[in-house]
Amino acid sequence: MTAHAEGLPVQDVALELRHVGKIFAQEPDWIARILRRLGVAIQDYRLVAVHDINLQIAPGEMVGLVGESGCGKSTLGRIAAGLRAPTSGEVSYKGVRVDAAGTRMPARERLKIQMVFQDPMASLNPRRRVGELIAEGAVYHGLWTRTEAAQRVADLLVEVGLDPSHAHRYPHQFSGGQRQRIAIAQALSVNPDVLVCDEPVAALDVSIQAQVLNLLMELRQRRNLTCLFISHDLAVIRHVCDRVAVMYLGRIVELAPARSIFEDAQHPYTRALLGEILRIDGGRRQFTPIQGELPSPLNPPSGCAFHPRCPKASAICASEAPPLQAQQGGWAVACHHPG
């Protein structure tokens, strides 16, 4: 199933997701149950956000998670970071179980996985000074003493490209790109090994996106970070990631090395996504969009979730969901008609 990291001993895998699933369900309350007995049709609210995800990330690797709305990538990111408990399956860091559903909560290991969020306006507490925000986690967990905190904060601010004398300012006094750098500094303060980035540049101006992407790439090299990079933008992922996992409606439909996915995408959905990358030097183009709407996770199509929109769909696609099958060259596809 896993391509790159398959067969590695458990301790050599930085982050592993095994059979991770997340279902949001609302049990009918007692009124609904009575109504149902009386014959009223009450719908069960059951949303399969993420279904049976298996992923192994090697240390120092940057894996991209790409997909559109409803594919579950944000939910998966939060499960990987330990912010949400998976309904099934588990997340391990270097062999130690760290997901939020685990009974033992090993604080030290869980601290090694940090997250950078999408909206820099919302990811910093507006009422605290920036220096305090960066230092809080490290001081709380005893990684820094109070006396050295100021110096450490200054060092981190320099590392992310900000002026260390601004540590006493409030978040609203910074621009969007600067706030994102502060959020990154905050995440780095506890010396994580794994960084989950949830659309870190989507909310930024175009001219600032390159700056933050460069910063992330540089930090990853310098600190040998392992990253899970979530984005809807395949162009960005291809540029910064080693491997790419394409998600559709809660499942991984293709897993491939980033360099080659542009040329050799096997899954029809990946092909469609690639076709959508509007090229700047392409000029006027004829669009050939794929038809149909993104299905709602509340009401997924039978069999392969992509079959209503797929140009290659056949009878088996409507009845059976294809499993993610490993192929050579570190590739994996979930399709009845790949290639």
Partner 1 sequence: MSAAPGRSQASSHRSPQGEAPVSAALLDVENLCTSFFTEDGEVRSVDGVSLRLERGEVLGLVGESGSGKSVMGLSLMGLIDSPGKIVAGSIRLDGEELVGAPEHAMRRLRGPRLGMIFQDPLMSLNPVLRIETTLIETLLAHEFIDSATAHRRALAALTDVGIPSPAQRMRGYPHEMSGGMRQRVAIAAALLPGPQLLIADEPTTALDVTIQSQILHLLQNLVAARGLALIMISHDLSVVASLADRVAVMYAGRIVESGPVQQILSRPAHPYTRGLIHSAPVMSEPGTPLPQIRGAPPSPLGRPAGCAFAPRCDRASSSCTSMPALTDLHIGHAVRCWHPHLEARLPGIAA
Partner 2 sequence: MRLVRAYMRNRMALFGLLLMLVVLFLAVFAPWIAPQNPYDLKQLSLMDARRPPGTESMAGFTFVLGTDALGRDIWSGILYGLRISLTVAVVSALVALTIGSTLGLTAAWRGGRTDALIMRIVDLQMSFPSILVALILLAVLGRGVDKTIIALVTVQWAYYARTIRASAMIEREKEYIEAASCMRLGAWRIMTRHLLPNCLPPLMVVVTVQIAHAISLEATLSFLGIGLPETEPSLGLLIASGYAHLLTGTYWISIFPGIALLIAIFAINLVADHLRDLLNPRLAR
Binding site for partner 1 (CB under 8 A): 68-69, 175-178, 205-211, 213-214, 217-218, 232-236, 238-240, 258-259, 262-263, 272-273, 275-285, 287-291, 293-294, 296
Identify which of residues 100 and 213 has a Cβ nearer to partner 1 in the complex. Answer: 213
Examine residue 83 and tell whether it contacts partner 2 (CB under 8 A).
yes
- Of the residues 122, 158, 277, 298, which one makes contact with partner 2 according to CB under 8 A: 122
Alpha carbons 97 and 141: distance in angstroms, whole number? 20
What is the dihedral angle through the alpha carbons of 139, 140, 142, 145, rounded to the nearest 10 degrees? 30
- Of the residues 2, 74, 114, 180, which one makes contact with partner 2 according to CB under 8 A: 114
Amino acid at 251: R
For residue 192, which phi and psi values (nearest 5 degrees)? Answer: -75, 160
Identify which of residues 18 and 267 has a Cβ nearer to partner 1 in the complex. Answer: 267
Least distance to partner 1, CB of residue 107, Å: 35
Q: Which does 298 bind (CB under 5 to 8 A by kind): partner 2, partner 1, none?
A: none
The tokens of 78 are what? 């939060």
Least distance to partner 2, CB of residue 230, Å: 14
How many Cβ atoms from other residues are within 10 Å of residue 178's Cβ?
Answer: 22
Vertex 62, ends 179 and 220: CA angle to 5°?
A: 55
Least distance to partner 2, CB of residue 27, Å: 12
Q: How does 58-94 read in b/e, with b if 16+ C-beta sit within 10 Å?
A: bbebbbbbbbeebbbbbbbbbbbbbebebbebbbbbb
Examine residue 228 and tell whether it contacts partner 2 (CB under 8 A).
no
Identify which of residues 137 and 330 has a Cβ nearer to partner 2 in the complex. Answer: 137
- Select the span of 40-48, 117-125, 274-282, 296-304 touching partner 2 (CB under 8 A): 117-125
Q: Which does 125 bind (CB under 5 to 8 A by kind): partner 2, partner 1, none?
A: partner 2
Identify which of residues 99 and 199 has a Cβ nearer to partner 1 in the complex. Answer: 199
Q: Are 255 and 331 in contact (CB under 8 A)?
A: yes
Q: Which does 112 bind (CB under 5 to 8 A by kind): partner 1, partner 2, none?
A: none
- Select the span of 133-141, 156-164, 265-273, 330-338 touching partner 2 (CB under 8 A): 133-141
Q: What is the DSSP string of 187-224?
A: HHTT--SEEEEESTTTTS-HHHHHHHHHHHHHHHHHHT
Least distance to partner 1, CB of residue 237, Å: 9
260 to 70, 139, 175, 191, 235: CA distances (angstroms): 26, 44, 36, 32, 13
Examine residue 250 and tell whether it contacts partner 2 (CB under 8 A).
no
Identify which of residues 79 and 324 has a Cβ nearer to partner 2 in the complex. Answer: 79
- Of the residues 186, 209, 266, 270, which one makes contact with partner 2 according to CB under 8 A: 186
The tokens of 215 are what? 């910063």
Nearest residue to 23 (alpha-carbon basis) of 45, 43, 41, 42:
45
Examine residue 170 and tell whether it contacts partner 2 (CB under 8 A).
no
For residue 24, which phi and psi values (nearest 5 degrees)? Answer: -95, 115
Q: Which does 243 bind (CB under 5 to 8 A by kind): partner 1, partner 2, none?
A: none
Least distance to partner 2, CB of residue 128, Å: 8
Examine residue 180 and tell whether it contacts partner 2 (CB under 8 A).
no
State the greatest distance between any 2 C-alpha atoms of the chain, in Å, as a whole number.
68
Examine residue 168 and tell whether it contacts partner 2 (CB under 8 A).
no
Least distance to partner 1, CB of residue 161, Å: 10
Q: Are 109 and 94 in contact (CB under 8 A)?
A: yes
Instruction: Decide: helix, strand or coil at residue 174.
Output: coil
Examine residue 110 and tell whether it contacts partner 2 (CB under 8 A).
yes
The tokens of 192 are what? 């994580």
Alpha carbons 58 and 227: distance in angstroms, whole number? 10
